[in-house]
Amino acid sequence: RKEVEQDPGPFNVPEGATVAFNCTYSNSASQSFFWYRQDCRKEPKLLMSVYSSGNEDGRFTAQLNRASQYISLLIRDSKLSDSATYLCVVTGSNFGNEKLTFGTGTRLTIIP
Amino acid sequence: DADVTQTPRNRITKTGKRIMLECSQTKGHDRMYWYRQDPGLGLQLIYYSFDVKDINKGEISDGYSVSRQAQAKFSLSLESAIPNQTALYFCATSDFGDLRERAIWEQYFGPGTRLTVT
């Protein structure tokens, strides 16, 4: 089983719609969770951290379910500029262990 | 100006050649990383360095070596390039701080080097 698994997509979603995707992780002791965004042929950039209680940043909502070992990302009122690949990222089980494990990404295309 | 720069941005080389990819950062971060990205495989960690005197192997270090020349510079070398090292290579940095601060987990990536080994 991969350490971090994502549905590769592509998700083709009309502009203005809501879209959600999940990511599962295998290490139950993982401490920190993130969503990174990567535009085509560009470097990954941090989109948001994922906190245990769930968190929002504008149109983006991230959730963590430790019992089922998955995290989710919800995008509301999607914009054309949201088209990108979204990478789920999980850290190791020890504080100070900065090994980030990246999922392969979920590709999202917003259709006008 | 970009905080993390990589040179070259694109490179085509032949099997057996030695090649060096360079990374420089102006963020003042102690920690630097080299990743490669292949389609369908995600980012894989090659080497990382927590300071100038500290170098650690990542998941896929075979066939690669690194040099941390200064806090701001971290180079990746392919001693004898082979075609399956064709990939997109990223350098990244992160800051050292309170281990419970999430900020230390954010990694800042350079623009990438697209390497093709023929």
Q: Give the residue ranges of chain B where pLDDT is below 70.
A: 1, 96-105
Q: What is the pLDDT of residue A52?
A: 83
- Rounded to the nearest angstrom, the minimum Cα separation between A27 and chain B is 16
Between chains, do A105 and B107 touch, taking CB under 8 Å as contact?
no
Supply the mean pLDDT for chain A: 90
Q: Is B43 on the interface with A (CB under 8 A)?
A: yes
> Does any CB of chain A come closer than 8 Å to the CB of residue B53?
no
Q: What is the pLDDT of residue A53?
A: 85
Strand ranges inside A1-112, DSSP E: 4-6, 11-14, 19-25, 33-38, 44-50, 55-57, 60-65, 70-75, 84-91, 100-102, 106-111
The whole-number pLDDT of residue B41 equals: 82
For residue A103, the chain B residue with the least C-alpha distance is B42
Tell me how many residue pairs between chain A and chain B have CB atoms under 8 A apart. 48
If DSSP codes are grouped into helix, strand and coil, which group holds residue B89?
strand
Q: Taking a C-beta distance cutoff of 8 angstroms, is the pair A103, A14 a contact?
A: no
| Parts of chain A with a pLDDT under 70 | 1, 93-98
* Among B54, B12, B50, B5, CA closest to B32: B50
- Whole-angstrom distance, CA of residue A73 vs CA of residue B28: 31
Token pair for B45: 């960690």
